[in-house]
Structure 1
Amino acid sequence: MIPPAGAPLVLRGREVGRDADGVLRPVVMAIVNRTTDSFYAPARLADDGAALDAAHAAWTDGAAILDVGGVRAGTGPAVSESEEIERVVPFVAKVRAELPDLLLSVDTWRAGVARAAIEAGADLINDTWAGHDPGLVEVAGAAGVGVVCSHTGGALPRTDPYRVSYPTPEGADGGDPRDGVTRDVLATLRAAADRAVACGVPPSSVLVDPTHDFGKNTWHSLHLLRRTDALTALGYPVLMALSRKDFVGETLDLPPDDRLAGTLAATALAAWHGARVFRSHDVAATRQALEMVAAVRDEAPPRVAQRGLA
Structure 2
Amino acid sequence: MAPLTRRQHLYLRLALVPIAALVASHVVFGQLFPGQPGYQFPWPYFLTVATVMASCWEVNLVVFDWLDSRLPFGQQPTRRLAAQFVLGGVATLLTFAVVFPLAQRLYTHHWPALPTVLKGITVCITLASLLNGGYVGLYILRAFLTERETKNRSISESSAGSNSIATPLSVPQLVTVAMHTGKLRLPVDQIAYFYSTGGLILLVKTDGQQVPTSYSSFAQLTPQLDNRSFFQLNRQFLVAQNAVRTVQDDTNRKLAVLLVPALHKQQPHEEVMVSRYRRPDFKKWFEASPIA
TM-score of Structure 1 vs Structure 2, range by shorter chain: under 0.3
Q: Normalized against structure 2, the TM-score is what?
A: 0.27
- The structure richer in strand per residue is 2
Higher Rg? 2
Q: Normalized against structure 1, the TM-score is what?
A: 0.26
- The structure richer in helix per residue is 2
